[in-house]
Amino acid sequence: MYGNSYLVYALIAAVGTGLGKTDRTSGLPGCERVQAGSSEVSAKHLQDFTVVRKLTLTRGDSVFPFGTQTETLTSGRLDGRATLLDVLVFDTPRARTVDSSWIDPQTLKPLRFQSHNAARTIILEFEADRVHGKSTPSDSAATIIDHPLDVAPFEWNVLALAVSALPLRPGYCASLPVYTDRSGRVSWYAVRVVGDTTIERKSRGPEAVWEVVARADSAAPEARYWISRQHRVVSRVRVSEPGVSILYARD
């Protein structure tokens, strides 16, 4: 989901926090390595949905609303093959950004990623051993993207879908490689179930959720998910780096 890019990379950059360039290609200790295509990930947990999440930005002592994110997961097609299509629409005071991710419907392997707003357009194509494409600013020439891959990563925007598709249970832990378009590299995320709890939602009252934390092995945002135990939809996620965080929450 929700990835997200969760717009967090753009927002964190806007408030002055940098991402490191360290690239590591091994999983974190103590967790099973789960690459895209692993049988540990089961798309049977996922169903078509549309959800709207409100964004709350926290920077230091300041907390304020920052727009909405609408996520739609549907069946789709890409170059004649069946896919899942996850579309994230971010409406914020800065801009409207539309992120579209085409993924394999069984394995959640990324196939294509496209992001568009008034400032730039990014298109990425994922192959077995590389990711390539281009980033085109609205006011200058395109930059070619071509990175080799030595693992089968998930794509950042659909990390939440991948986490939701894992066999979540108390104490569960896995290590997932994740490619981000902003950093142009793969980070390994240690994904741990840290709670089996409930959250209050305005539209329905208490909801039983898995609380899951995803931490990277390098300078990259941390994510804390609250995932519906019944529907495997992310009801809340907080994405953070030192000094700034964004909470995405549906009513």
- Number of independent structural domains in the chain: 1
Does residue 144 belong to any structural domain of this protein? yes
Does residue 1 belong to any structural domain of this protein? no
Nearest 5°: phi and psi at 126?
-105, 130
Poorest-confidence range of 4-8, 16-20, 144-148? 16-20
164 within 8 A of 234, measured Cβ to Cβ? yes
Does residue 205 belong to any structural domain of this protein? yes
Does residue 60 belong to any structural domain of this protein? yes
Nearest 5°: phi and psi at 76?
-150, -175
Query: Rounded to an integer, what distance in angstroms lies between the CA atom of residue 130 and that of residue 108?
Result: 16
**What is residue 219's predicted lDDT score, i.e. its pLDDT?**
77
Does residue 2 belong to any structural domain of this protein? no
CA angle 205, 209, 215 (to 5 degrees): 135
**What is residue 163's predicted lDDT score, i.e. its pLDDT?**
97
Does residue 3 belong to any structural domain of this protein? no
Whether residue 214 has pLDDT greater than 60: yes
Residue closest to 211 by CA, chosen among 230, 222, 198 = 198
Domain span including residue 224: 8-249
Whether residue 166 has pLDDT greater than 70: yes
Does residue 151 belong to any structural domain of this protein? yes
Does residue 199 belong to any structural domain of this protein? yes
